[in-house]
Amino acid sequence: MKITQKLHELPQSLWLDNITREILDNGTLRAYVDELSITGLTSNPTIFDEAIGGTSTYDVSIRTKARTGLAGEQLFVELALEDLRRAAELFRPLYDATGGMDGWVSMEVSPLLADDTRGTIEAAARIRLQAACPNLFIKIPGTAAGIPAIEESIFAGVPINVTLLFSREHYLAAAGAYMRGIERRIAADLDPLVVSVASVFVSRWDRAVADKVPDDLRNRLGIAIGGRTYRAYCDLLDSKRWRDLAAAGAHVQRLLWASTGSKDPKASDTMYVEALAAPDTINTMPEKTLLAFAAHGALNLTLSRDGGDCEAVLARFAKAGVDIDALAAKLQIDGARAFVKSWQELMQLIATKSQALTGT
């Protein structure tokens, strides 16, 4: 049995953290589904910026849409949804077979809205309607402005992938928003089945402290944060509040591990996948990481429900001068800024290509 299949049967869902028109056209994504147990995918502005800028595959679509008057964000959303609808159709049988628990793709609202609650709510509803795709998550960052937008969107029946979470506290804020939205739906006599995932970013922790801690702590912070967050996730699922929601028909907001590609060339390229193997979670992997895990990954231990030695490890980081709460806040701010930068580059790229391809 392939190692990816073993991970899938844990059960942990394996999603691809990438989408390009090329892997749709040449059958690569189909092969990942058939051969490597991929059951969903995620996207973000950086992924689309690299996909559109690194190939001519999108040129015909850009030319056609630009000639109809589309530009900027409107043109990009149409381009992205063309790809995501195709991927969603590929995952649709799994989505149907699992009652909506798996088989999802994700589309992010504009990163410029990270501090705009009302704008985020409106954008999420607009993209959901425009996509007309049942297994499309709308990605909303778990920022201070994003948390109320998540609650309102869940209440409105919009499936949400909460992104840019970096800590246990970030995760619990996102989970709280999800549960409040579901509780409000139940109180309003609405269907409580609105699916959501909560995406916790891992590797950026280790990149942030790589040169600031002793060598024996190198590449251990992200996994320790993962262990702490997984414990909170398991505790929440054991709570009466969640059990009552589940009894009413709600689906669990699954914990998703994001940013699971190793950033350290001296470290194992599969370390985050192996360390964060945990039942009832999702790991969305960059293509390079997926292929590395399929080639030489191992599955020896699963993440303990109590987080294992995470608190002891985090205590050592604190002793080394790492302020976990402050760093979590900084990583979320930096992550939002990085997506804004990619978004701005993407808008400029689309404008430049539109002009070149239409001669206007």
- DSSP 8-state symbol, 219: T
Q: Which backbone phi and psi does 344 adopt, to 5 degrees? A: -65, -40
- Residue 41 — very low, low, confident or very high, per pLDDT cuts 50/70/90? very high
Instruction: Say how many CA atoms lie within 13 Å of 162 toward its Cβ.
Output: 35
Nearest partner of 114 among 144, 134, 84, judged by Cα: 144
* Whole-number Å distance between alpha carbons of 217 and 210: 9
Gyration radius of the chain over CA positions: 20
| Tokens 């910026």 belong to residue | 49
Strand duo 136-141 + 281-285: pairing? unpaired
- DSSP 8-state symbol, 145: T
Catalytic positions, written as ranges: 139
Render the burial of 137-147: b for 16+ CB within 10 Å, e for the rest. bbbbbbbebbb
In 10 A of CB 252, how many CB atoms? 18
| Size (the chain), residues | 360
Mean pLDDT over the full length of the chain: 97
Mean pLDDT, to the nearest integer, of 1-24? 97
pLDDT in the model for residue 341: 95
CATH architecture group of domain 3-354: Alpha-Beta Barrel (3.20)
Q: Which backbone phi and psi does 37 adopt, to 5 degrees? A: 65, 30
pLDDT in the model for residue 336: 96
pLDDT in the model for residue 60: 96
Lowest-confidence segment of 149-153, 190-194, 240-244, 356-360 by average pLDDT: 356-360
pLDDT in the model for residue 54: 82
- pLDDT tens column, 98-135: 999 999 999 999 999 999 999 999 999 999 999 999 99
pTM of the predicted structure, to 2 decimals: 0.97
- Residue 360 — very low, low, confident or very high, per pLDDT cuts 50/70/90? confident
- pLDDT tens column, 253-308: 999 999 999 999 999 999 999 999 999 999 999 999 999 999 999 998 899 999 99
